[in-house]
A and B are shown apart, each in its own frame.
Chain A
Amino acid sequence: MSESKGRMQVLQGNEACAVGALAAGVNFFGGYPITPSSEIAEVMSQCLPLMGGRFIQMEDEIASIAAIVGASLAGAKAMTATSGPGFSLMQENIGFAAIAEVPCLIVNVQRAGPSTGLPTQPAQADVQQTRWGTHGDHAMIALAPSSVLECFTMTVDCINLSERYRTPVVLLSDEVIGHMRESVTLPAPGTYRVEPRKLPEEDGSDYRPYCECEGDPLPALSAFGDEHRYHVTGLTHDARGFPTMVKEEVDLKIRGIVGKIENCADELASYEEFMIDDADVLLFAYGSTARVAKSSVRDLRKRGVRAGLLRTRTIWPFSSTRLQELSEQMKLVVVPEMNLGQLSLEVERAVCGATEVRQLGKVDGDLFTPDEIAEFTMEAVGK
């Protein structure tokens, strides 16, 4: 995102997300009301009719994601927004979008669970559900915003990534980020990249919607109604989209949908580094927790601990590279997150015993305080 020409305005995270979606060319929204994400649907229902798009409120979240996948196949840039219980219901057709390789965006404004949990309170407990919620081998792209501005920019990024990788992408927001109001200056149109829907150039008879050989570039996705008349199925399929049980074709398909994302983990990794250069204690955080952790770093510095913060914007695919580099200079990595150990498991795998990793979990529905994280860290370093 380059420099913007817009004016400052006060926006809520969920509103900024909706504006970002429209900026990225989203012209179809299918959704179902759920706290704390409903503002996204409300803003989309208000704006889309005036901007040449269409909004539809479906009968449940299963139907919502089904509708956006259908719309995407018909050439629309399509999204939905939900929270934990709805996200659980969507897993079925997130898997469909993954195997059928259909771009779409799911915004999950996380709240505390399981089940109905605490509908109005924040959590970060859907991190592993995002990665593994649908059955079968697949990969996932998920980004976590930490500010209202990032609700805008990351929604644009998510749409772009879903188009580039032809895959469902999750914006993993949380109740605090979604409902927070901040002064922001949104980037003006033309200053950020919008990935267009790439349409195939070849004519109908020879069209293949899927890769034929390992390492083939991802074919462009034809829109229903153009001349290609191809088949889309949730069954494992060949390059033309027709069901197959041929071992080589099945293997190629599954490795393909995983590899196209996992092999780009380093490329997709995006971090904010804060006071990292001389740090020997690393706080690793994301989403609303990362905002708090930044204050904790300042506190810890005052108290003689050389702390630094690595805030990851990319949750999935999880990249180990930067963490491995940094773990050599750290005597401790602390992972505060609003769950009882989810992304910390990935951190442990990345650090691989090079240094100690401690998870600080919080599941009482409240945001961390800077003190909580600082105290825990002081104790862990033995001060």
Chain B
Amino acid sequence: MMNSTDVTVRIDNLHVRRGGKVVLPGISLGVRRGLVTGLLGPSGSGKTTLMRAIVGVQILEAGEVSVLGRAAGAPELRRRVAYVTQAPSVYGDLTVRENLGYFARIVGAPAGRVEDAIATVNLGGHTDQVVRTLSGGERSRVSLATALLGQPELLVLDEPTVGLDPVLRRELWETFHLLASGGTTLLVSSHVMDEAERCDELVLMRDGRIVVVASPEALLRKTGARDLEQAFLALAEAS
């Protein structure tokens, strides 16, 4: 059983309704500290809604979500939790540096952190380019860099690697693990199976319910499948 110091996020019987439709019909989950937890499931399975609930921007119908020992969305968590939405939420009419500079002022990060964040997402060649003129993948990297500025304890990333070239994707996953080894908790959603292998722990969702929570190795062992794709299929068919 996990004790409370190992757990960054604790969700208890969470119900969420969006647009009159039940998206999360009562789920419970713990996300462990210092690990990269992958949130996997088809589009529409409730991944984004779950992430929004953890960050505290989602109106809940019932249930409890606690993050770092506080109710999700508590004012003091705004410094300790960073969230990257699927659509890059940065200013298209500012340059990369101007965007990051502004967000750095808000989180109170030292100026040097802007350059570090730009280097981490490999946008050094585009520092003074207006974001609107960047490609989709580059724009989502600006959005990701923003989340790295404040050195948060919990990073919630909604499909951060969509449309990125494989080399950069691998580098970013290395960064995620580096952050995790420093004690940061990461919750990363994806629908790409090769990314599932790179997670320490997997949460598989379907129709707003959690099908399984396990490490990739445990999942393969449990299902006897050759790879994670097969394991997920076996679990989805059984559920």
* A pairs with B: no
Partner-A contacts on B (CB < 8 A): none
